[in-house]
Structure formats: C-alpha cells, structure tokens
Structure 1
Amino acid sequence: SVEMEDIKFHQCVRLARFENDRTISFIPPDGEFELMSYRLNTHVKPLIWVEAVVDPGHSRSRIEYMVKAKSQFKSRSVANNVEIHIPVPSDVDSPSFKTSIGTVRYIPDQDCVVWSIKQFQGQKDFIMTANFGLPSVGADNRDAYMKAPIAVKFEIPYFTVSGVTVRYLKIIEKSGYQALPWVRYITQNGDYQLRMI
C-alpha cells in the first residue's frame, strides 16, 4: 500500500465521487492539463545518487572537487533537465571544469557550481571535476560550505516511484466530439539534498 500526501486534483474532478469509491471522474477542460499530483512520504533510494569528494590537494591556493552522479532507475528510463547544485567557498576564483556529459557553470552570487545534464540515462554514472583557486579560504570557511547540502533537481517522464498507475480510462462522449485518451506520468524530485564528504 502506498501512502500519498498532499494530493491535489484539478478543479474539474468530482471530489465526492473520489471520496466515495476512489474513482476519479471529471469533465476535462480543453487542452492539456494536470489532473492530479501527490507526494510520497516513504523512504526510497535516491533516483540520482551524488557523491562529492573535496580534495584540498598539496597547495593551500587550489581546491579540487570530484563529483560522481549515478542514476538508480531502470535503463529504459531517462531523467530530463538534471541540475546538480554543489556548494563552493564564497571566494573561489579561476574555475575550470571537466566532464564527459552536460555543462558546468560557476554561479558566484549563489556560491555554487551547477552541473546540468539534459538527458541522464538510467543505470549510468558520470564524473565531473572542478578546480578552483583559493585566495584566502581558511579552515573555518571550509567547514561552512562543506555543511551546505548538494541539491538535485530532475524529472523522469513515463515513470512512477509509487507504482500508482491508471488502470483504465473510460471516455463517455455524447456530443460526437472526438476525444483522444492519453495519460502521461512524470516523476519530479522533491526536497532532495545530499551532504559532501
């Protein structure tokens, strides 16, 4: 059994019918719309696991990050618009990045690096390295950004973590209007943060 929270229905849904027999009955508006959204409050392994190792190296004036991202969903699925936000010290300079997939950019006003991956195939892992100059960072400053979490954002179409699916879609059309039955599932990250080691 799946525990769903914050269930939200489009205003066209007949809520009394849902409360009575768990059938979602509605008269749809024209065009595409979101019929229902919900959150799960269960512990599931992260769909995209991120590990970051910070290496201060031998020089006190440089720092290197090695970030590994691994998709933990089936290989036939693809996560779209993946963004991994990695906190960095506030006064780093001279950024350089290396990755085999996506793009990486430094955002100084947010003290972070954003690794963007347009499409992340299931059961794959990738590594990104980032090197920075450190003009004045001391141990105190380092501890502050090390405690800040890595945030991950993404969406996976045609995929449900909960296993909730539409068993059937019945269209009752009396006016002769041609309706095309179609269901799309999209899994989006919730509040999803990881700590650096």
Structure 2
Amino acid sequence: MVKARSQFKERSTGTNVEIEVPVPYDATNPNIRTSMGSAAYAPERDAMVWKIKSFPGGKEYMCRAEFSLPSITSEEATPEKKTPIRVKFEIPYFTVSGIQVRYLKVIEKSGYQALPWVRYITMAGEYELRLI
C-alpha cells in the first residue's frame, strides 16, 4: 500500500503527478486499485507507475497493489537491491521559495505591443524516497 499526501496549501493543485514504485523483477499477476488516478505495472521498468492528473493541496490518496512472486527454492538467493521510489509533479502558479516578481517592464523598440507576464510553476527535480 502506498499513501500519497500533498503537503502544500489547499489553494494550490499539483498536476501530472507520477509515482514510480519499484517491484521485484519476477513479479507477476498485478492486482492494483487506486483511490484516485490510474496505476499500471510496467515490467520493462520493474515498477508500478501511479499517475494522478490533478492532486489538490491537503489531500491524501492511496494505491493498493498485490503481485504474485515465485517461491524461492534456493538458499543462495541474492538479496534485492533497494531502488528508490521516484516522484514527479508540477504545481502551477506556485513557487516553493515564495519569490515573486513585483515589477516587470518590457521595452520594445520595434513598435510591437508586448504584454508583461510571468508564469510561476514548481516542477519536481530529482525526488526520490529510499526504503531502509
């Protein structure tokens, strides 16, 4: 089970949220249920990918997944490397730092009418969660 909780204010909304949860390479027969968005097993990435198009601030959603694993018969089975959970997202009209442009002046000598406009967006860079 994976719980995803937005920890930004309710007036903001995360978009294009993608949570990639690693699963063992030999996992089969996925049974996945989500409270929001859609999730699918991506065997080429050895992961379950959960996508949420719109994630409002202050909300929490859950994803439950069950996989079949082959029984281990060898005592020399190698331990799995623990790959991180990866998260990608965008938050339009929001800056984490709180920085704001107070004044913007566009000087255009060709006579073209330019409109001063600033777009704020927060995008996830490398956001990984490691299980210990």
How many residues are treated as equivalent by the alignment?
Answer: 130
Q: Larger helix proportion, structure 1 or 2?
A: 1
- 1:70 matched to 2:9: no
* CA distance, structure 1, for counterparts of residue 124 and residue 80 of structure 2: 25
Question: Residue 95 of structure 2 aligns with which residue?
Answer: 160
Q: How far apart are the structure 2 equivalents of 1:128 and 1:115?
A: 8
**Alpha carbons 1:87, 1:111 under 8 Å: kept:** yes
Partner in structure 1 of residue 57 of structure 2: 122
Matched, 1:192 2:127: yes
Name the CA distance, whole Å, in 2 between partners of 1:137 and 1:190. 38
Which string of whole-angstrom CA distances, capped at 9 and with x for unpartnered residues, describes residues 90-137 of structure 1?
A: 111110111121010101111100000011111100010001111235
Structure exhibiting the larger radius of gyration computed from Cα positions: 1
- Report if aligned partners of 1:91, 1:137 keep a CA contact under 8 Å in 2: no
What is the CA-CA distance between 1:163 and the residue it aligns to? 1.6
- Residues of 1 paired with 2:102 and 2:59: CA distance? 31
Distance 2:50 2:110 in 1: 51
Q: Distance in 1 between matches of 2:59 and 2:24?
A: 29
Please report the TM-score for the alignment, with normalisation by the length of structure 2. 0.89
Gaps in structure 1 of 5+ consecutive residues = 1-65
> In percent, how many aligned pairs have the same letter?
60
Cα RMSD after superposing both structures: 1.9
- Aligned with 1:94: secondary structure? strand
Whether 1:98 aligns to 2:54 is no
Amino acid at match of 1:132: F
Q: Is the 8 A contact 1:93 1:132 kept in 2?
A: yes
Give the number of the structure with larger relative contact order, counting CA–CA contacts within 8 Å between residues 6 or more apart.
2
| Structure 2 gaps, min length 5 | none
2:107 aligned with 1:176:
no
Question: How has the CA–CA distance of structure 1 residues 137 and 100 changed in structure 2, closer, same or farther, with 3 Å as cutoff?
Answer: farther
Question: Match for residue 80 of structure 2?
Answer: 144
Q: 2:80 is matched by which residue type in structure 1? A: A
Distance 2:45 2:111 in 1: 55
* Number of the residue aligned with 1:87: 22
